[in-house]
Copies of this chain bind each other. A is one copy, B any other.
């Protein structure tokens, strides 16, 4: 019987009834001889309550003290779940981040995992049926408790799975990965297996079910990742090595990223430092620039890219500063666009994907302003009001 890592998020452990139901399902697996490492978040609402207390105490609290406070949330969940499991006759050990040897680096409220104490976990698992580990937390080199950044508990689970060489099942309130967002395209099909690269591309392009970082760790250690709905009989999605995905399709999914700005810059010079000057500032301001197309010729230098709508003010400021050194730069910056993408590792060796996609958009009378491609994806900038229609026609064309 294989050992597994399971992760349950905050809503899955939102109250004691839910904790009891999860405990019963874990007991049923333990009875069959499985050994499980279960990663849990703070009970839904706990973290917000603690943070609101902090707000009442200080206008500018320090991150290390906040991290120390909020991590009590997961410590309480692991205690409660362990108490219920033991009551069901399951031999259980609860472990905080420091006890499980989750080593972190970086800022206290957005730390990243540098290592996991595999020996400690495996030896504890030998003596117990279930280990319950606090997600979202670890200790840094100074022995200070830190909270992980976005997707925290997922990363804890995947890092433990990678380190111990176990598959990792992540349970949330969605029942798997869909070929495209069912809110955009009702007939969207669920994907039962997908490769790491495709899933990373889908996450990066807006299908935000899992943080890219978690998928990357799983890929690097060839750990199968499962994504499914908590306590559901429905089959979710396995994310795995490309060669193990049985059903190969040229295009596996489509993603829609709404509310983007499309900017085009032109400078009438053959040799320009504009691109360096701009991207240095983007980098300093941590602005995420996407869909970069660049052309230069004898007439000058042209650059198109997209950013999220929310960045418009900071972008204005950067352009104003840049214009001081590039006075003859001309600029169009337009809102009201969205980005539609198709993803599939089959694109690598199946021909005709691009032409099928262009044709589908054309047949629906949807105009696209810019196109970029990666090895396993194609993205189009279209008018915002055509975003949904574009996804529908692409999903129909590729049977998503």
When chains A and B are docked, how far (Å) is the Cα of A19 from the Cα of B57? 10
Whether A79 is near chain B, meaning CB under 8 Å from some CB there, is yes
Query: Taking the nearest CB of chain B, how far is it from the CB of A160, in angstroms?
Result: 17
Q: Chain A contact residues: over half helix, strand or loop, or mixed? A: helix
Please tell me which stretch of A82-90, A226-234, A260-268 contacts chain B, meaning at least 4 of its Cβ atoms lie within 8 angstroms of it.
A82-90
**Contact status B79-A66, CB under 8 Å:** yes
**Contact status A75-B86, CB under 8 Å:** no
Chain A 64-93 residues near chain B, CB threshold 8 A: 64-66, 68-69, 71-72, 75-76, 78-80, 82-84, 86-87, 92
**Contact status A57-B99, CB under 8 Å:** no
**Contact status A79-B84, CB under 8 Å:** no
Whether A297 is near chain B, meaning CB under 8 Å from some CB there, is no
Whether A318 is near chain B, meaning CB under 8 Å from some CB there, is no
Whether A24 is near chain B, meaning CB under 8 Å from some CB there, is no
When chains A and B are docked, how far (Å) is the Cα of A62 from the Cα of B72? 19
With a CB–CB cut-off of 8 A, which chain B residues contact A19? 57
When chains A and B are docked, how far (Å) is the Cα of A19 from the Cα of B72? 19
Whether A156 is near chain B, meaning CB under 8 Å from some CB there, is no
The quantity of this chain's copies bound in the complex is 2
When chains A and B are docked, how far (Å) is the Cα of A75 from the Cα of B66? 11
**Contact status A94-B80, CB under 8 Å:** no
Kindly name the residue among A68, A76, A99 whose own CB sees the greatest number of chain B CB atoms within 10 A.
Answer: A68
Please tell me which stretch of A48-56, A161-169, A287-295, A308-316 contacts chain B, meaning at least 4 of its Cβ atoms lie within 8 angstroms of it.
A48-56
Q: List 10 A-B contacts (CB under 8 A).
A: A16-B53, A50-B76, A54-B80, A61-B87, A62-B82, A64-B94, A65-B94, A68-B94, A75-B75, A98-B98
